[in-house]
Chains A and B, each alone.
Chain A
């Protein structure tokens, strides 16, 4: 691979000695879609703000497009940003909001109009030019924020949970729009989210963080099929991976914890199973039913059964699984090879 477009080298940010983020290393290729994923307070937004220049790191180096911009002002970094709250200027019309940055950079009026039209066309906002943000719906406001981010044609776009203020249905459609936009414009996007569905469905590369540290960086498949540690295993996937103490399954004493995905679990006739569990709950999702199982050695054990199933809680169920579907973690929670 060629020189990465964004290179983050071992940056750290602390507030009054308290941990913000630490040891952040990222190599982001040009034109890729990177999701910073993690629970709230994990440092993903801080990482984004360090990239944007709204915060400056205490340690480390940030290089964008071959230029060291570690301490540069946000405007010198050739990037745009979509805020969680959209940060639209409430007294300016849609058109004025979108061209605000162009005006600041003294782009000519004709050029400005052309870029505005294009940005509004892409985001489907033509006809709304003169509306104020207060007169728009949440989804429209979100698109104004997107239009403002793409109008300047910056190669890098940072997005801070841009969908978290939308309802679930809209979220799914805007997710597709954003992904399409990123591919069509060929821009590099760094996208912060706490929603793993967003991260897994949109990103080429997912960076999963916890407590200010990167837990795993990789493609969505890698995170799903090869979680680097028990945290990743439990965070990624719906339902998340079940973790079983190795005492519970004889023959795997080298590992402390064994991971098992719901789709690898099969319900078998009594007497043929490897674990006998009790049913704790049934969650009907339409095409399938997740049946939550409890076992003294296991945590989060679930089996997926097609269609509607109703098994009374407390009933015994025997399950089986193939050895090759198991994931092994050591006593520190790290993945063991093989």
Chain B
């Protein structure tokens, strides 16, 4: 009798492992192993022709913390995330609320908002390069109509990062809008009617009913936007290459530069590990604290 139970239990366990294995194999090959390998290589010194690689412990990390460019890039990335995430979410939400109301040419409005998302980032960057180019660019042409001086948006340290931020927002807001639109359509019409009967204004209804019901979507978008703020650097290659004077350099671009322009893999690996740690902490906060405060239907 007990033997049968044991066999059955073992069978269930094997069954479970079989179901688990595809995901486990893929994740191990492409996520866990590379992460560990990166961590491992970040603890060794750079290999040169004269000196072989040797274990240096946390030295690569101390180097980074002493590197002013690293701090510059971190601050840049914080500004970049701090601007792109809330602004693109706010724009996405207002576009969604508008595109969800009864307006003429609703389909056209939605398509128009979504178009930037369909473009590859490189194409979008080329488009914006045409906007930003001093003298020839659309912005300057419009400015000159009003007698404004020509501005090299991408070429000066004060404006370069913001010019890049605007491109990202333009690119992302439409994408996030689609998620909000989908979420808005799951809110039953009669909630609005019930609120109308109670005398709630459109603003009260939006604030007390719609926004809380959109909270799971907002959270999802926030996580996505955060990942993008670290991940999305294609446009830097076209627009500024991190310049001028590192003014628009973001962390992933710096990692790429470190690894493939300066051929300093250990420092690149150390930076990668730092990014992973930060993103891991954010994910932890999302799954523990924020999820508890959110209403999931």
Contact = CB atoms under 8 A, between A and B. Distances in A.
Given A90-B213, A104-B204, A85 B197 contact: no
A81 interface: yes
Contacts of B201: 104
A104 B200 contact: yes
Nearest to B198: A101
Given A89-B191, A90-B295, A91-B295, A81 B213 contact: no
Contact of B208 (A75, A100, A148): A100
B196 interface: yes
- Report which residue of B195, B197, B199, B213 has the largest number of chain A beta carbons within 10 angstroms of its beta carbon: B197
B209 interface: yes
B192 to A, nearest CB: 9
Contacts of A76: 199
A81 B199 contact: no
A54 B199 contact: no
A193 interface: no
Nearest to B211: A91
Interface residues of B, number: 20
B271 to A, nearest CB: 41
Given A90-B297, A91-B213, A104-B204, A85 B188 contact: yes
Interface string B170-198: 00000000000000000010110111111
A79 B212 CA distance: 27
Contacts of A85: 188, 190
Contacts of B199: 73-76, 101, 104-105
A73 B194 CA distance: 13
A224 interface: no
Interface in A60-86: 73-76, 79-81, 83, 85
B196 A87 contact: no
A318 B38 CA distance: 96
For the residues of B in contact with A, the DSSP-based class is helix
Contacts of A81: 193-194, 197
Nearest to A99: B198
Contacts of A87: 188, 190-191, 193-194
Interface in A217-232: none
Contacts of B213: 90-91
Contacts, number: 64
A52 interface: yes
Contacts of A80: 197
A185 B193 CA distance: 24
Contacts of A54: 193, 196-197
Interface string A223-251: 00000000000000000000000000000
Interface residues of A, number: 24
Contact of A75 (B191, B197, B212): B197
A73 B204 contact: no
Contacts of B198: 75, 100-101, 104-105, 152
A54 B192 CA distance: 10
Interface in A38-58: 52-54
A285 B133 CA distance: 86
A101 B204 CA distance: 11
A89 B209 contact: yes
Contacts of B191: 87, 89
Interface in A94-121: 100-101, 104-105
A152 B122 CA distance: 58
Contacts of A73: 196, 199
Nearest to B297: A90
Nearest to B200: A104
A100 B200 CA distance: 9
Interface of B: 188, 190-191, 193-201, 204, 208-209, 212-213, 215, 295, 297
Given A75-B197, A81-B193, 14 more contacts: A53-B196, A54-B193, A54-B196, A73-B196, A74-B193, A75-B198, A80-B197, A83-B193, A83-B194, A89-B208, A100-B198, A104-B204, A134-B297, A148-B194
5 contacts: A54-B197, A83-B190, A101-B197, A104-B201, A105-B199
Q: 3 closest A-B pairs (Cβ-Cβ)?
A: A75-B199, A101-B198, A91-B295
